[in-house]
Chains A and B, each alone.
Chain A
Amino acid sequence: MSGGRFAVGDRVRVRSHAEGGNPRTPAYTKGRTGMVTAFHGVIDNPLDHHHPYPPLYTIVFRVADLSGKTGADLVTADLHEEWLELA
């Protein structure tokens, strides 16, 4: 699996816009900061994408950072690299 720009453990922020990026990126993650917990490489998914997107990461967010609810609960989302920047 070829490397990506981010490593497991990196804190990353999800961009608000990513020109040409995978449009199927959940709105509630945009502008939010989370941590990389897994790197999946480039996903070959010809049934859903006509061309492959940049590498995919699992990002974990604290519910507290998403909706302001207190507590330690978490949400993980799988996001493509073009949406992410180091926080």
Chain B
Amino acid sequence: MKDLEGHVDAVASDLEYFRRKRIEPRVLLYLRRGIISWPDLFRGHELAARQPEPRPQPDLELRIRALEDSLDELILSIATASIPSATHAVAIDDNRTERGDYNPEFRLAARTYEGDVETRIELLEMAVAETRHLVASFTGALVHAGEVTEEALDENRRRLGDLGYRNGARIVARAWTDPDFKQRLLETGRAAVRELDIPPGRLGKLGVAENTDDVHNIVVCTLCSCYPHDLLGNPPWWYRTDEYKTRLVADPRETIRDMFGLEIDPERKVVVHDSTSDVRWMVLPRRPEGTEGMTEEELAELVTAESLVGSTEIPPPR
């Protein structure tokens, strides 16, 4: 691990995103609507208190890795608890009103985690543990209130855990080997992935942008962080950074060079696709040279999460 500060920054930015936009507003909304009550939450807290806390690591690098792992686990718990309500339509779980407007009144205060690296790690460890406690209390409250069953939560967690960019890798490998499938994928998006026994998900339409010798595609969501995450799992962490969002649409070629070290051939056009919740984009990368004899499974192993966003190209196999 080279850049300790960079890793800590990424954890802080991700934690704040999920805390302020995904879980705390949802808890507040459920309380406001009466879907759960304060007593439900307190009872949930009693259950949550029994969860073991992870033991601290002595080495700084190991601590950061443990922090990153606990953040991943936290994000999965938040996604699991964000199960649709059986009795109420809950459209939005961040600081938007239900029509989709951003309203600064609803914005939760941001926290900074400042200090030297060790202090920052300590503050983040505490914040992750506290948020984990909140998620566990909230999940317990949902069960108490009869909103969800333990079984439904387990099922949701299992389904989410299976997700990930591997789905994307399989889609790409099939598109490389089966031109008819590729055509269906480009034309129908989600409907085509059923052929691979991948659940197509239902978060708006899936746009697929094919990289060619003439065009390099890259995906962004300038308004928030829309991504076909129901199909491809979470995007790389920098996808949610303001730097990426604002710079990419202003000067795509230079941003790709600066942020990812990828030099796009001047002969190729760069096309940025701005995702919304209605159309979420993925990139179909170019098949690298030297892969002619490879099977679909072997090809899928070459595909990276970054290549599905378009920040990298897939290098030829060594």
Contacts and interface: CB of A to CB of B under 8 A. Distances in A.
A18 B252 CA distance: 28
A71 B101 CA distance: 34
A50 B272 contact: no
Nearest to B256: A73
Interface stretch (B43-51, B151-159, B166-174, B275-283): B275-283
Contact of B101 (A23, A28, A72, A78): A23
Contacts of B207: 58, 78
B269 A75 contact: no
Contacts of A24: 100, 223-224, 276-277
A43 B251 contact: no
Interface in A5-57: 22-24, 26, 28, 40, 43, 45-50, 56
A45 B203 CA distance: 7
A60 B207 CA distance: 14
B89 A46 contact: yes
Most buried by B among A24, A45, A56: A24
Nearest to A67: B250
A76 to B, nearest CB: 5
B229 interface: no
Contacts of B132: none
A74 to B, nearest CB: 5
A22 B273 CA distance: 19
A32 to B, nearest CB: 11
A75 B277 contact: no
Contacts of A45: 203-204, 277-278
B91 A46 contact: yes
Contacts of B76: none
B211 interface: no
Nearest to B253: A73
Range for the number of chain B residues in contact with chain A: 20 to 34
A45 to B, nearest CB: 5
B92 A48 contact: yes
Contacts of A73: 252-253, 269-272
Nearest to B249: A75
B274 interface: yes
A9 to B, nearest CB: 17
A71 B222 CA distance: 21
A6 to B, nearest CB: 16
Interface string B203-220: 111010000000000000
A46 B255 CA distance: 34
Most buried by A among B102, B252, B253, B269: B252
Contacts of B250: 28, 63, 66-67, 69
A66 B100 contact: no
A69 B251 contact: yes
Contacts of A40: 205, 278-279
A86 interface: no
A77 interface: yes
Contacts of B98: 50
Contact of A67 (B91, B251, B273, B275): B251
Contacts of A49: 91, 99-100
Interface string B172-208: 0000000000000000000000000000001111010
Interface of B: 89, 91-92, 98-102, 202-205, 207, 222-224, 249-253, 269-279
Given A49-B100, A58-B279, A73-B270, 8 more contacts: A26-B249, A45-B204, A69-B250, A73-B269, A74-B269, A75-B271, A77-B276, A78-B276
The 5 closest A-B pairs by CB, nearest first: A48-B277, A73-B270, A67-B250, A77-B274, A78-B279
